[in-house]
C-alpha cells in the first residue's frame, strides 16, 4: 500500500505598499513582494519558488487607479519547483490565509477574469468599522515540466485538478487554483483518462494577477500595505 505524505510546502505572501496619495511623489522603497520558502520532510521533496519568489509591482500611483472601478495589475509568473529524492507523484493545493478580505463581486470577477471561487484576498486597510478590503488576486497554474530518475526532462501537455486524487480534470491551458485547499493540482498527458505523471522533479508555472479596490473606498492620503498570503501544500506518494 502506498503511503501518502502531506506537508506544508511554502507560504506565499504578497507584502508591501501601494502609494495611494494624491500628490505625485511616491514613498521610497514601496514595492509588492512575494516571498516563498519551505521544505518537506527529509528524504522526500524540497519545494521553492525559483529566483527567490519575489513579485515586484513597483510604485503604484493613485492617479493610475479609478475612483469607482477596480484596477487590474500586470500578471507576474514564477516557477514553483518540487524536487524529490525519488520518483513520486506530487499534488499541490493552495489555501488563502486572507480569505475574509477577498473582494468577490461581479466587477472584481471581470477585472481578474475569474469566478468568485477562484479569488484570493489582499488584506484590509484600516481597523474596525473603517477597515476596507484592498483588493483581490488569482493564482493560476500551468502544465509542468518534469524530470525522471534518468535526468530526462519532459514538458507535460496538461495541468490536472482533482478533489480526491482519483478522478482528474485535464486542461491544456493554465487553470485558476481555488483558495480553500480542497483541490489538488498536478501534471501529465492530455489524453482522456490520463493520470498525473510520476517524476523526480516538477516545475509548475504559477501566475499571480492582482486587482486593487477603487480610491473612493481606499484611503488616498497614505500608503496602503498589501497583505495577501496563501499557503501551498504538497502531497506526495
Range of the domain at 169: 5-236
How far is 157 from 173, CA to CA, in rounded Å?
9
The reported pTM is: 0.84
Continuous segment of H or E residues that includes residue 159: strand 158-162
How far is 98 from 121, CA to CA, in rounded Å?
5
- pLDDT of res. 155: 98
CA-only gyration radius of the chain, Å: 19
How far is 45 from 9, CA to CA, in rounded Å?
9
- pLDDT of res. 237: 77
Using one digit for the tens of pLDDT, what is the confidence trace for 178-215? 999 999 999 999 999 999 999 999 999 999 999 999 99
Asked if 49 contacts 11 with a C-beta cutoff of 8 angstroms, the reply is no
Asked if 182 contacts 213 with a C-beta cutoff of 8 angstroms, the reply is no
- pLDDT of res. 59: 76
- Cell representation of residue 201: 522533479
Asked if 177 contacts 94 with a C-beta cutoff of 8 angstroms, the reply is yes
Using one digit for the tens of pLDDT, what is the confidence trace for 34-61? 454 554 444 478 888 887 766 677 777 8
Which residue bears the cell 524540497? Answer: 46
Residue 107 — φ and ψ, nearest 5°? -60, -35
pLDDT band at 16 (very low <50, low <70, confident <90, very high): low
- Cell representation of residue 151: 535526468
pLDDT band at 236 (very low <50, low <70, confident <90, very high): confident
CATH code for position 228: 2.60.40.1090
How far is 221 from 223, CA to CA, in rounded Å?
7
Number of domains comprising the chain:
1
Amino acid at each position: 500500500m502506498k503511503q501518502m505524505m502531506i506537508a506544508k510546502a511554502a507560504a506565499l505572501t504578497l507584502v508591501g505598499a501601494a502609494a495611494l496619495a494624491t500628490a505625485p511623489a511616491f514613498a521610497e522603497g514601496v514595492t509588492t513582494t512575494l516571498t516563498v520558502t519551505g521544505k518537506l520532510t527529509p528524504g522526500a521533496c524540497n519545494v521553492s519558488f525559483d529566483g527567490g519568489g519575489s513579485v515586484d509591482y513597483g510604485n503604484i500611483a493613485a492617479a493610475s487607479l479609478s475612483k469607482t472601478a477596480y484596477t487590474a495589475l500586470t500578471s507576474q509568473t514564477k516557477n514553483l519547483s518540487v524536487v524529490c529524492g525519488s520518483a513520486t507523484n506530487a499534488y499541490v493545493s493552495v489555501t488563502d490565509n486572507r480569505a475574509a478580505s477577498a473582494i468577490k463581486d461581479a466587477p472584481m470577477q471581470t477585472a481578474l477574469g475569474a469566478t468568485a471561487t477562484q479569488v484570493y484576498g489582499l488584506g484590509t486597510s484600516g481597523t474596525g468599522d473603517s477597515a476596507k478590503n484592498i483588493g483581490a488576486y488569482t493564482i493560476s497554474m500551468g502544465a509542468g515540466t518534469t524530470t525522471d530518475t534518468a535526468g530526462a526532462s519532459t514538458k507535460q501537455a496538461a495541468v490536472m485538478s482533482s478533489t480526491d486524487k482519483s478522478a482528474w480534470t485535464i486542461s491544456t491551458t493554465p487553470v485558476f487554483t481555488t483558495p480553500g485547499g480542497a483541490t489538488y493540482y498536478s501534471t501529465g498527458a492530455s489524453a482522456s483518462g490520463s493520470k498525473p505523471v510520476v517524476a523526480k522533479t516538477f516545475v509548475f508555472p504559477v501566475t499571480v494577477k492582482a486587482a486593487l479596490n477603487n480610491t473612493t473606498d481606499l484611503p488616498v492620503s497614505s500608503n496602503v500595505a498589501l497583505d495577501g498570503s496563501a499557503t501551498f501544500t504538497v502531497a506526495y506518494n
